[in-house]
Structure 1
Amino acid sequence: MALTITIILVILTIAGSVLYGSRNRGSGGVTEWAVGGRRMGTLIFWFLNAGEIYTTFAVLGISGYAWAYGAPAYLAFLSVSLTAAVGYWLTPRIWHAGKAGNFITQADFFADHYRARWLGIVVGLAGIAALIVYVQIQITALALVLRLSVDAEISNTASAIAAAVLMLLFVMSAGLRSAAFAAAVKDILMVVIVIALSATVAGHVGASSIGDVFTRVQDAYPGIGSLPGRDPDMGLSTIWMMTAGINVALGTYIFPHMFQLTYSASDSWAVRRNAVFQPLYSLSYFFIILLGFGALLAGTMPALDDPNAVLLTFVADRYPAWAIGLFAGTACLLALVPGSVLLLTAGSIFSRNVVRPMMPGLSDTSELLISRISMVGCAAIAVYLTIGATQSLVDIGLTAYASIGMLAPGVFLAFLWRQTNAFAVLAGIGTGYVVLMLPSSSPLMAWFPEWEAGLVAMLFNALVVLALSPLLNLVTGKREQAAAG
């Protein structure tokens, strides 16, 4: 019964999404496929935006983190609140720039603002790299759900390939508008199911109430409710929490797919309202962490020895088949929808900002075809990264945020400082990646004990951009004067 409900739920959602996308399609072409014709209203934009923030990273990843480490899972509360504050200021500016320049991708913005097509190519490739890591999260989670729902004997490789194929089939069917419909369905399902599970979790773990669950887990595992949590040796301290939260907040809307989603809004008010009400979603993390603690009290040991599977295993052990099916089906959608949008974005960037500059005469039809083909390549790389990986979804997510953070100084300074130089941005990106690859035992990282590595790299990136921009502008100005003379 559980498997049947899972399959029916996923098929009906996909079918409804494709139908919605085809019936509401505008003029077609790359603009319609990649940014929904720039016609997403407040409600549908809300679900689409939330759908890319609240993924399997949020539900399976955070619950598993709470089970394994305890208080460090509170990172979710901190990062979502800070992200909304950053988004309120940043996203309307991104929308206005996209509207004025008719941009499709984030790399379009960099190439136009800094008057450097080559920078658009560099940023495009960097963005694709970060997106592939983020796709890895969704493939890891979807493969896990497939293995537990269908047959645990299926190899990790086969399940990862199947997950990638499902994402590709979904996104190629109709594009961003279909993903928006599916995001609305899975968000509603997620909230209802998580609240329903939380309302009954106390009875399943021998507690008298939700509050008693927290009391009992604190008694059983002293210190779990405060940093550094269950495992002090992990370095998940207060400093880590603060720096990781800031890094996630500064990086969330720098992801290329978040740029693309922002372009899709019908007006700037839809974008700003989203930032105002988005923090309400952070309330769901209370229930997600509660379920992680409940699984710990119940003595749940995750299937396949994978902490990411804690919540799936807990539900499978303690709830009836129909509830298992609904949860597994929703978990599939939590991975399928965001993963599809990530692949769509990566394909758009590759065709528009990597291939088109080398082939200026490329038609829209050819660009769309190249975009779809490149998605297959990105999915293949993500599958390769997934095979044999043992990291938690949260750790993979922080890796993705660290990577995309290298583009953050170039974005923020574009709106804050007109003197920002394209070559300085490139130098900053290079410096940031070098710092990011340094081992934690290096002398430089020793200056920042327990800091999230991504924020350290972003800091040095920004310092290089700020220091070099005036110098490079001075050199450029002298050359232009010499040429004019």
Structure 2
Amino acid sequence: MTTLVFALVIALSLVLAWASRRGHAHPSLREYFTASRQFGAVLVFFLSVGETYSIGGLLGFPGGVYARGLPFAVWFVGYLVLSVPVGYLVNPLIWRAAKRLDALTLADLYGGHTRSRGLEILVALCAIGFLIPWGAMQFAGLNVALSGLGLHLPRAGLMGGAGVLAFAYLALSGVRAPAYVSVLKDALLIGAIALVAGAVLMAGFPPGSLARAWPAIPPDGPLLTPHQERYAITTTIFQALGLYMSPLTMAYIFTARSARAIRRAQIPMPLYMAMFPALTLVALAARASAVPLGSPNDAFIASARTLLSPGLLGLAAGAAALAGLVVLAGTCLAIGPLISRNLLPQLPETKQKAYAQGAMVGYLVLSMAAALALPGLIVTLNNLTYLGITQFLPGAIVIGLARPVSPVRLALGLIVGDAVGVSLFLGGFDCAGINAGLIGLVLNAAIVATGLRRTA
């Protein structure tokens, strides 16, 4: 029954992806990647939320609470809450710039605004490089979700099937497919979380047992030392600033019909925070009941397997799988044109979509290989994604404001920001508790600011 319900969820998602082709069976390049900038606030909302609340949130948040307790929950929710006003202010600027420059990618924004081919290539390479660990994260999460079904298949087989499904969405109708599937995914995701949390409440845990399940707090000292507080605060700020700088999010912004639609989509996003108390409850129940886990990230699926009927378990696993598949499909939509349009500009527009689809397949294979080869480094790779994509913020703001700026300063700021943040992080240097990426971002912004005195 579990496998049957799961298969029905996946089949329904493919039906929705096929239905999204109506009237767009042979999409142009702009239709395929940006839906001709026709999406209203509702579809932009579901697309953006699908990226923000991905399989990493569904599995990673309860896993983090399970392993590290209250400090992790405060940080995770904190940066998501702070990111909403950042998106409300910055995303409409980016949309206006994309419309002005007829941009399909993040690299189009930089290259079109400054008329610099070198900067366009640099931005494309940085975006592609820092999105590979993001894809690996989705495959790792999909492996957890699919393994929770009890399917005794090799990890490579499970991930390969997920990759085929993600590409199938794109082959059907481009960005419209993940947009339509996102609506189904979010409905199932909320339902699955509510089902598991409700099952926890009905399980009859002894009074106080869930509260005592928090990871131990030092009895004779503060929850966090001053050093840890600085790191938590600066990391929250840094990731809140960077959440909407992902090339994937940019691709979704470009689909909106207006800046007003983007603002309207941002307003209800905090409502999704309601799922985190429920996921916290699930994580505490997993600790209190000593459910055997392969890793903390198994907390949600293991609890679902213990508490839900086989049919409902298939529903929960299907929701988790769609959370990863939608993000994978969207990431491919960001990667493909970066390669076919920005790195291979000599291609005629009639061939760019075909080459982009080939690049998507390559990206899926590379991300899958990273997830298989480096399972113990997935958290590190995810941190590297944020360290890289947040450095696009100074340039995005300047371009969004249509300010003339030196392309050399934009390139130098990006290089310095990435180099400082990544080297400090990988080298394990202690910066008095300050997030290494934030240090790089401040240097990046300072370099870009000095370039504002020059003409583009």
- Shared fold by TM > 0.5? yes
Matched, 1:341 2:324: no
TM-score (norm 1): 0.87
- Distance change in 2, residues 1:198/1:223 (3 Å): farther
Residue 215 of structure 1 aligns to which amino acid in structure 2? Answer: A
Residue 80 of structure 1 aligns to which amino acid in structure 2? Answer: L
Q: Distance in 2 between matches of 1:223 and 1:294?
A: 21
Which residue does the alignment assign to 1:483? none
Distance apart, 1:24 and its partner CA: 4.3
Which residue does the alignment assign to 2:211? 215
Given that residues 57 and 394 in structure 1 are in contact (C-alpha distance below 8 angstroms), is that contact kept between their aligned partners in structure 2?
Answer: no
Given that residues 60 and 297 in structure 2 are in contact (C-alpha distance below 8 angstroms), is that contact kept between their aligned partners in structure 1?
Answer: yes
Residue 423 of structure 1 aligns to which amino acid in structure 2? Answer: V
Q: Can you give the 5+ residue segments of structure 1 that lack an aligned partner in the other structure?
A: 478-485
Matched, 1:429 2:414: yes
Which residue does the alignment assign to 1:171? 170
Residue 240 of structure 1 aligns to which amino acid in structure 2? Answer: Y
Q: Distance in 2 between matches of 1:468 and 1:101?
A: 21
- Distance change in 2, residues 1:24/1:223 (3 Å): farther
Is the partner of 1:28 in helix, strand or coil? coil
2:315 aligned to which of 319, 322, 326: 326
Distance apart, 1:149 and its partner CA: 2.1
1:270-309 equivalent positions in 2, closer than 5 A: 270-302=261-293, 305-309=294-298
Q: Distance in 2 between matches of 1:273 and 1:280?
A: 13
Q: How many residues align?
A: 454
CA offset digits 1:390-426 (Å, max 9, x no partner)? 3486654332111212222211233458353210111
Given that residues 202 and 213 in structure 1 are in contact (C-alpha distance below 8 angstroms), is that contact kept between their aligned partners in structure 2?
Answer: no
Distance apart, 1:468 and its partner CA: 5.6
- Distance change in 2, residues 1:269/1:24 (3 Å): farther
Which residue does the alignment assign to 1:412? 397
Please tell me the root mean square deviation across aligned C-alpha atoms, in Å. 2.6
Distance apart, 1:273 and its partner CA: 1.0
Given that residues 282 and 299 in structure 2 are in contact (C-alpha distance below 8 angstroms), is that contact kept between their aligned partners in structure 1?
Answer: no
1:218-297 equivalent positions in 2, closer than 5 A: 218=214, 221-222=216-217, 237-297=228-288
Matched, 1:372 2:325: no
Q: Distance in 2 between matches of 1:334 and 1:292?
A: 19
Given that residues 227 and 238 in structure 1 are in contact (C-alpha distance below 8 angstroms), is that contact kept between their aligned partners in structure 2?
Answer: no
Which residue does the alignment assign to 2:27? 28
1:111-190 equivalent positions in 2, closer than 5 A: 111-152=111-152, 154-190=153-189
Given that residues 248 and 331 in structure 2 are in contact (C-alpha distance below 8 angstroms), is that contact kept between their aligned partners in structure 1?
Answer: yes
Is the partner of 2:292 in helix, strand or coil? coil
Per mean C-alpha deviation after superposition, the further-off stretch among 108-117 and 461-470 is 461-470
Distance apart, 1:22 and its partner CA: 0.9
Per mean C-alpha deviation after superposition, the further-off stretch among 10-19 and 103-112 is 10-19
Q: Distance in 1 between matches of 2:311 and 2:377?
A: 27
Residue 329 of structure 2 aligns to which amino acid in structure 1? Answer: S
Which residue does the alignment assign to 2:9? 9
- Distance change in 2, residues 1:309/1:395 (3 Å): farther
- Distance change in 2, residues 1:310/1:47 (3 Å): same
Given that residues 143 and 162 in structure 1 are in contact (C-alpha distance below 8 angstroms), is that contact kept between their aligned partners in structure 2?
Answer: no
Given that residues 57 and 393 in structure 1 are in contact (C-alpha distance below 8 angstroms), is that contact kept between their aligned partners in structure 2?
Answer: no
TM-score (norm 2): 0.92
Residue 217 of structure 1 aligns to which amino acid in structure 2? Answer: A
CA offset digits 1:21-67 (Å, max 9, x no partner)? 21142872111110112111121221111111111111101111111
- Distance change in 2, residues 1:462/1:57 (3 Å): same
Residue 251 of structure 2 aligns to which amino acid in structure 1? Answer: Q
CA offset digits 1:169-223 (Å, max 9, x no partner)? 2222221111111001010111122123222313336145xxx5652324x7345
Q: Distance in 2 between matches of 1:396 and 1:440?
A: 11
Given that residues 40 and 264 in structure 1 are in contact (C-alpha distance below 8 angstroms), is that contact kept between their aligned partners in structure 2?
Answer: yes
Residue 312 of structure 1 aligns to which amino acid in structure 2? Answer: I
Q: Can you give the 5+ residue segments of structure 2 that lack an aligned partner in the other structure?
A: none
- Distance change in 2, residues 1:295/1:396 (3 Å): farther
Is the partner of 2:299 in helix, strand or coil? helix
Which residue does the alignment assign to 1:41? 40
Distance apart, 1:70 and its partner CA: 0.9
Q: Distance in 2 between matches of 1:228 and 1:65?
A: 16
- Distance change in 2, residues 1:63/1:236 (3 Å): farther
Given that residues 128 and 335 in structure 2 are in contact (C-alpha distance below 8 angstroms), is that contact kept between their aligned partners in structure 1?
Answer: yes
Which residue does the alignment assign to 1:314? 303
Q: Distance in 2 between matches of 1:457 and 1:54?
A: 26
- Distance change in 2, residues 1:85/1:3 (3 Å): same
1:344-355 equivalent positions in 2, closer than 5 A: 344-355=333-344
Per mean C-alpha deviation after superposition, the further-off stretch among 131-140 and 383-392 is 383-392
Q: Distance in 2 between matches of 1:450 and 1:301?
A: 34
Per mean C-alpha deviation after superposition, the further-off stretch among 175-184 and 374-383 is 374-383
Q: Distance in 1 between matches of 2:222 and 2:261?
A: 37
- Distance change in 2, residues 1:399/1:236 (3 Å): farther
Which residue does the alignment assign to 1:55? 54
Is the partner of 1:25 in helix, strand or coil? coil
CA offset digits 1:86-136 (Å, max 9, x no partner)? 011111111111222221111111111122122111101111112222111
Is the partner of 2:196 in helix, strand or coil? helix
CA offset digits 1:220-246 (Å, max 9, x no partner)? 73459x9868xx9xx993222212221
CA offset digits 1:113-167 (Å, max 9, x no partner)? 1221221111011111122221111111112222332534x33333333322322
